[in-house]
Amino acid sequence: MAFYDIIIVGSGIAALTAADKLAMDRNVIIFTKSNKTASNSFQAQGGIAAAVDADDRWEDHFQDTLVAGCQHNDTENLQTLIQSGPGQLAELVKSGLEFDLNADGTWNLGREGGHLKRRILHAQGDGTGKALVTFMLEKVKNKVTIIENEAVVDLIVENNQCVGVTTKNCNGDVMNQIADSTILATGGCGELFLYTSNDRTVTGDGVAMAYRAGAELADMEFIQFHPTLLYNGIRTLGLISEAVRGEGARLIDQDGQFIMEGVHELKDLAPRDIVARTIFTKINKGSRVYLDITKVTNFSSRFPTIYQLCVKNGIDVERGLLPVIPGAHFMIGGVRAGRDGRTSMDGLYAVGEVACTGVHGANRIASNSLLEGIVFGNMTAEAILTREREAAIRKSYSVKKGNQLIKLPTKQSIKQRMMHHVGVVRNEADLLAMKDWLETFDFFQVNLTNLSFSEIEIVNMLTTAWLITTSALMRRESRGTHYRLDYPLLNGRETREEIIRIQLEYEEIK
């Protein structure tokens, strides 16, 4: 048994931001089940959106986010996020983080889907996440203990208060770790899907353990599929940032036709859900889809990570046609949390992708997620530092005896089924089939301490898959990333009368 002020689960940007601030006045320990750079934050290519340009205003960034999010956004949290962004980025710059600049010293701003203006800051071209996480790891060095290769198995709850976590290390040792505050910053769940841009460690662990502990979740049906993952016809090979389209790349089918022509006024830079569905439909009809990069100047120096990804996988970059397919990218729902990270459970906080603060609505606009990690990571730390201490009772909690699970599917079978049944385009029959299949496994109410790392991940994947599937069945409309063939598409700007008309027309067509 060990005691800490603060336990943080995960090592992405939200975790490191909170840890850095908390370490001023508290002892902080981070547990991460793999190594500290195995996160989606580290892999982020796009950048950080903020209205820092003289021609930009926070209101414009706010409005673009609402439109992309189909008005499902929590507007108070969103306003805080967007208004705080430029100031917090300035703080990072002051402490030494370098964003890419133009020759005249002004911000080199990129553009991505849904943004009407250039407002994406990036560092080292398409290596923003790596630059940011490396910078933050350096900042927390000697202040925060980071334990790698030790998985948090479950939260410890006493009278609806989270008092810490149970961990398992790679020697199989199981320990209870007690803390006054526990922050979940475990990221999303991209590994649940066959095609994904996510790090392979991202298996929905935070959501699954919060659910087992009884914390409130929200919006689990909204999974964002990124339109352009590099694809070799069998599997996805990594992300091709939307920023590439921001610099002039266009999506074409195998006949060389621009596929976003006539679909949306922003064409290739339409909100992500619209582009992903258009590509998905083309591919489903038997066409291949390519990102034509022939008009992008200085591709290899502006996008060094993507260039290397292509070279490594034998894609002929000089030809200028990168084969793409949509894949799971971001979990919009998650553990319901305020902008100060507070969840429905005392002592438990959630921040970053695992949290659902409502800022992304039904479809996250590009490059708002690193921003969320930074802004709400700081706010969570501030809230914990300024609030009267909610001390966990520092007693000895017994380690629960684990179950021996008898039957678990392979990860691959979960991933294939989720992609097929709960993917870019959904319908009731597929969702019900998925739910029925998931329920043939016994993953509710299990105690995981006896299981291997991989088995723990499978239980978490089953749990999160079930939460997404059942939520998708419950939302009887199509909105943003949640697109059901059996319900009409709404963008949140319709009047009541328009919704009734759309529904009637839809019923007639059906």
Q: Do 363 and 332 touch, CB atoms closer than 8 A?
A: yes
- What type of residue is 426? R
The Cα 127–Cα 261 span in angstroms is 30
41 binds ligand SIN (CB under 6 A): no
Question: Please, what is the Cα angle at 94 between 88 and 97, to 5 degrees?
Answer: 85
Residue 61 Cα distances to 13, 49, 84, 248, 427, angstroms: 22, 8, 12, 21, 33
Q: Does 11 bind ligand SIN (CB under 6 A)?
A: no
Question: Which DSSP letter does residue 416 get?
Answer: H
Question: Minimum CB separation from ligand SIN for residue 40, in Å?
Answer: 9
Q: How far apart are CB 242 and ligand SIN at their closest, in Å?
A: 3
Stretch binding ligand SIN (CB under 6 A), from 67-75, 187-195, 238-246, 308-316: 238-246
CB of 279 within 8 A of CB of 259?
Answer: yes
Q: Note if 272 is an active site residue.
A: yes
**Could you tell me which residues come within 8 angstroms of residue 292 by beta carbon, excluding any fewer than 6 positions away?**
249, 250, 251, 252, 320, 321
Q: Which residues contact 168 (CB under 8 A, 6 or more apart)?
A: 150, 151, 153, 174, 175, 449, 453, 456
One of 46, 114, 125, 129 touching ligand SIN (CB under 6 A)? 46
Nearest residue relative to ligand SIN (C-beta):
46
With a CB cutoff of 8 Å and minimum separation 6, the contacts of 16 are 133, 136, 137, 139, 140, 377
- Alpha carbons 145 and 163: distance in angstroms, whole number: 19
- Taking phi over 0 as left and psi of -120 to 50 as alpha, with beta for the rest, 204 belongs to left
Among 17, 39, 45, 65, binds ligand SIN (CB under 6 A): 45
By CB under 6 A, residue 242 contacts ligand SIN: yes
366 lines the binding site for ligand SIN (CB under 6 A): yes
Q: Can residue 182 be called a binding residue for ligand SIN (CB under 6 A)?
A: no
Q: Does 268 bind ligand SIN (CB under 6 A)?
A: no
Q: Does 367 bind ligand SIN (CB under 6 A)?
A: yes
What is the b/e burial string over 107-143, where b = at least 16 CB atoms within 10 angstroms of the residue's CB? bbbbbbbbbebebbbbbbbbbbbbbbbbbbbebbeee
Stretch that binds ligand SIN, among 12-20, 25-33, 141-149, 241-249 (CB under 6 A): 241-249
Residue from 146, 243, 424, 431 touching ligand SIN (CB under 6 A): that is 243
The C-alpha atoms of residue 272 and residue 494 are separated, in whole angstroms, by 20
For residue 366, the minimal CB distance to ligand SIN (Å) is: 4
**What's the token pair of residue 251?**
């999506």
Active site residue: 272, 364, 426, 484, which one?
Answer: 272
Nearer to ligand SIN, 279 or 458 (CB): 279
Q: How far is the CB of 504 from ligand SIN (least distance, A)?
A: 36
- Is 273 a binding residue for ligand SIN by CB under 6 A? The answer is no
166 binds ligand SIN (CB under 6 A): no
- Beta-carbon count within 10 A of 74 CB: 19
43 forms part of the interface with ligand SIN (CB under 6 A): no
3-state secondary structure of 468: helix
Count of residues that bind ligand SIN according to CB under 6 A? 10
> What is the contact mask toward ligand SIN in residues 287 to 326, using x (rule: CB under 6 A)?
----------------------------------------
Span near ligand SIN by CB under 6 A; candidates 166-174, 236-244, 292-300, 439-447? 236-244
Using DSSP bridges, classify how beta strands 223-231 and 236-239 pair: parallel, antiparallel or unpaired: antiparallel
230 near ligand SIN (CB under 6 A) = no
x/- letters, 108..127, toward ligand SIN (CB under 6 A): ----x---------------
Q: Which stretch binds ligand SIN (CB under 6 A): 12-20, 362-370, 384-392, 405-413?
A: 362-370
Q: Contact residues for ligand SIN (CB under 6 A)?
A: 45-46, 112, 241-243, 329, 366-367, 369
